[in-house]
Chains A and B, each alone.
Chain A
């Protein structure tokens, strides 16, 4: 049963979770990617292997981590290794199927910025920085990006290219000879974009229910293209919503942000 009562953020999280296959090894960023990956684990992908950069492999957190190194991640993991080992043996070693990331800015070739807004030496906004993203973008077999869509975030030109997508498009990434094939999907609160097979330009392939084309156009800083066989995302199923809301509620309770009742 699909439901009519949901938010666009819930739709984004659920659409992202559906892209993760059962049994996939997934390197998870904190925030939206972590929410979507755990939703996948609790619904259609019980055997998904979640890896967090702080060291847990096969993490099965009871509540969503507030930080990338919460104790619950370690407590319920198959094993916990050091941070150098995570990056050297597991990510660079070629054992990660999907890198699941967020970003502050993205361009039409799915390059991302998590470093600064404005000039690097004199930024108007200093963002947290690279974290594990440059290595994940290089080495994960595929990358899925999740972020809310707005013209401020989906820009014509990045203020800083932190982690590489398809660079200038076409064959540009291939020439870099990176082990991973790059971003395969960008999931937003309005739609899903995928890189065009030839040009690698992000193209809207799927619209979430009730979203109009001009909403997507207005929320994109470049002249966004729509696929000729544009599809509609299936509305959230009641089960997906129930699991997601339960997860978010017990997370809020555990972190002291909501009453237990």
Chain B
């Protein structure tokens, strides 16, 4: 059964230095509040897995939490580069970052294999690509039935997966909808799972085929309204495209990034305080 607890407690209990951590959410429902709490608690040497690293991992990498990144597309969607990711890969700042690179089909299949407790996933891709030369975890096997050459990648088994969802009930059953990405597979593939939710309700009122994650496969459920901002939560709030654009400026320069992170994340008490401060900063800029 999931414990319904604060985000601080959940991160303290379930995310440890050196862990392999997957924070998923395909543009939608990105667990930003949880990412900030990991930075606030100054976790180190994490192996971060995520299909689309996005701004959330740019923050974690720049803040020095990561030693390795496993990913399939690393950009600021609709804006451009992730400057902290690039600085780490190109110039080893703030520390060298190992990278293990996949494609979306491959990485999503690897989560499926993890969820299914299989050793690896198979897919039809990479013949002719140079990626397998640089990622020894992409290999080729022969189909035992047809002899076809297929790509294989090892299953992903994170120590902990962190996602954001729309609703939980008081038992900790979780409902999410809209663009689902690989959240369900990432949760089922992990040893532990933390879910932050927009609201906790008496009854999920979920239709029979809805995406519901039962409480008994989760470790912790935390009530964090707005916890996916500046990404969006379908039915609750839109993506804050201005923040994604502003991030390009904030993240481009090391000093500006460090000052922003210190003031907005390390020196705020929680995500509520962060959001209050961010709103004030935006107002000041407008004035």
Instruction: Name which residue of chain B comes closest to A65, CB basis.
Output: B78
The interface bits of chain A over 199-241 (1 if a CB of B lies within 8 angstroms of the residue's CB, else 0) are 0000000000000000000000000000000000000000000
- Minimum distance in angstroms from B271 CB to a CB of chain A: 21
Complex CA gap A30/B81 in Å reads: 15
Complex CA gap A73/B124 in Å reads: 27
Are B178 and A74 in contact (CB-based, < 8 A)? yes
A130 within 8 Å of B (CB atoms): yes
Contact of A134 among B28, B105, B238 (CB under 8 A): B105
A22 within 8 Å of B (CB atoms): no
CB within 8 Å for A134 and B129 given contacts A66-B78, A69-B28 = yes
Instruction: For chain B, give the interface size range.
Output: 35 or more
Chain A contacts with B in 130-186, Cβ cutoff 8 A: 130-135, 138-139, 160-164, 167, 172-173, 176-179
CB within 8 Å for A129 and B125 given contacts A54-B27, A55-B181, A80-B179 = no
A-B contact count (CB 8 A): 174
Complex CA gap A124/B105 in Å reads: 27
Chain A residues lying within 8 Å of B36, measured Cβ to Cβ, are none
Are B108 and A67 in contact (CB-based, < 8 A)? no
Are B181 and A130 in contact (CB-based, < 8 A)? no
Are B27 and A87 in contact (CB-based, < 8 A)? no
Are A130 and B131 in contact (CB-based, < 8 A)? yes
A123 within 8 Å of B (CB atoms): yes
A83 within 8 Å of B (CB atoms): yes
Chain A residues lying within 8 Å of B104, measured Cβ to Cβ, are 53, 83, 87, 130-132, 135
Complex CA gap A126/B180 in Å reads: 28
A91 within 8 Å of B (CB atoms): yes
- Minimum distance in angstroms from A176 CB to a CB of chain B: 4
Are B181 and A69 in contact (CB-based, < 8 A)? yes
Instruction: Name which residue of chain A comes closest to B133, CB basis.
Output: A120
- Minimum distance in angstroms from A137 CB to a CB of chain B: 8
Complex CA gap A82/B123 in Å reads: 17
Contact of A84 among B28, B72, B182 (CB under 8 A): B182
- Minimum distance in angstroms from A40 CB to a CB of chain B: 21
Are B124 and A139 in contact (CB-based, < 8 A)? yes
Complex CA gap A178/B103 in Å reads: 17
Are A82 and B184 in contact (CB-based, < 8 A)? yes
Are B242 and A256 in contact (CB-based, < 8 A)? yes
CB within 8 Å for A91 and B105 given contacts A128-B74, A178-B127 = yes
The interface bits of chain B over 83-103 (1 if a CB of A lies within 8 angstroms of the residue's CB, else 0) are 001100110000000000111
Contact of A131 among B90, B103, B232, B234 (CB under 8 A): B103
Are A130 and B234 in contact (CB-based, < 8 A)? no
The interface bits of chain B over 139-150 (1 if a CB of A lies within 8 angstroms of the residue's CB, else 0) are 000000000110
A8 within 8 Å of B (CB atoms): no
Chain A residues lying within 8 Å of B181, measured Cβ to Cβ, are 54-55, 69, 82-83
CB within 8 Å for A177 and B182 given contacts A30-B78, A83-B108, A256-B241 = no
Chain A contacts with B in 45-89, Cβ cutoff 8 A: 53-56, 65-71, 73-74, 80-84, 87-88
Complex CA gap A193/B131 in Å reads: 26
Q: Which 6 A-B residue pairs are closest in the complex by CB-CB distance?
A: A69-B27, A164-B128, A67-B77, A66-B78, A135-B105, A128-B75
21 pairs across A/B with beta carbons < 8 Å?
A30-B77, A30-B78, A54-B28, A56-B179, A66-B244, A74-B178, A80-B178, A83-B104, A83-B181, A88-B109, A92-B105, A111-B128, A126-B85, A126-B90, A129-B72, A129-B101, A132-B104, A134-B103, A134-B131, A172-B128, A173-B128
